[in-house]
Amino acid sequence: MPILVFDSGIGGLGVVAQLRALAPGVALTYLADNGFFPYGEKPDDILLARILDVVGRAIAHLRPQALVVACNTASTIALPALREAFSLPIIGCVPPIKPAAAASTSKTIGVLATAATVRRPYLSNLIARFAPACTVLSLGTPSLAELAERKFRGASVDVAPAIAPLFTQPGGEAIDAIALGCTHYSFLLPEFAALYPGISWFDPALPVARQTLSRLTPLPPLAETGQTAYFISETLPLPLLAPYGFNRAETCQW
């Protein structure tokens, strides 16, 4: 009974890496709905139906002991419906507003996310709860997740045009901490830090991994038959996935 980690693409592999670091013996299965990538620009009703269908088929086939929705967009749309439909523990992913607000000395923080995450009340509720004393400037960008996918496959990427509008909006020059509201963006942290070295960047992957492991006692044993990454469409080359502990990559047949 593995933990099933779900994302629209490669973003959730950052959560996988943190789970491996915290619990090397954990049995994991990965599911990427790359046939419907990117999630962040699609209508909510279509996405909700898609997520319930894809995740439902995966749960029926794989029988995981827990589900990690390692996608901010999917979490903001589908967590209540998933928890109503399935009885297993389901862990979502939220932008790390709280630690960013706590770390900021200027009390001006940024949020980088997909357009879908930025426009939902979910984000404004997090800001009201965890950053009431801060000015919070958000940017919903359609291109960073795609750039992360390209970088993962070995391409050189330029993130500067996509991220610059966060800082050019009024008050943006005061930003000193940024919460990443999409797990894909974890893979672009070196580029972000090189462009803006004086800023503290907060990645959601580690908090999600910690929350997952806190819900599961005892941990499952390492799967003797190996651990598999599933993809709805294009299967990534296994050498790209091996560093994350997977020794099989398959296209879903269910």
* Tens-digit pLDDT profile for residues 185-227: 999 999 999 999 999 999 999 999 999 999 886 665 555 556 9
pLDDT band at 40 (very low <50, low <70, confident <90, very high): confident
List, in sequence order, every beta strand (DSSP E) within the chain. 3-7, 28-32, 66-69, 90-91, 108-113, 135-140, 177-180, 200-202, 228-231, 248-251
User: Does 3-93+206-251 match 97-203 in CATH topology?
Assistant: yes
pLDDT band at 1 (very low <50, low <70, confident <90, very high): confident
Q: Give the class (CATH, top level) of 97-203.
A: alpha beta
By percentage, how much of the chain surpasses pLDDT 90? 85
Write out the two tokens for 221: 């044993």
What percentage of the chain's residues is helix, strand, coil (to nearest 5)? Answer: 45, 15, 35
* Tens-digit pLDDT profile for residues 129-185: 999 999 999 999 879 999 999 999 999 999 999 999 999 999 999 999 999 999 999
- Amino acid letter at 45? D
- Separation CA 59–CA 63 (nearest Å): 5
Q: Give the class (CATH, top level) of 3-93+206-251.
A: alpha beta
Provide mean pLDDT across the span 16-24. 94
Q: Are 231 and 251 in contact (CB under 8 A)?
A: yes
Domain range summary for the chain, segments of one domain joined by +: 3-93+206-251, 97-203
User: Which residues are the active-site residues?
Assistant: 71, 182
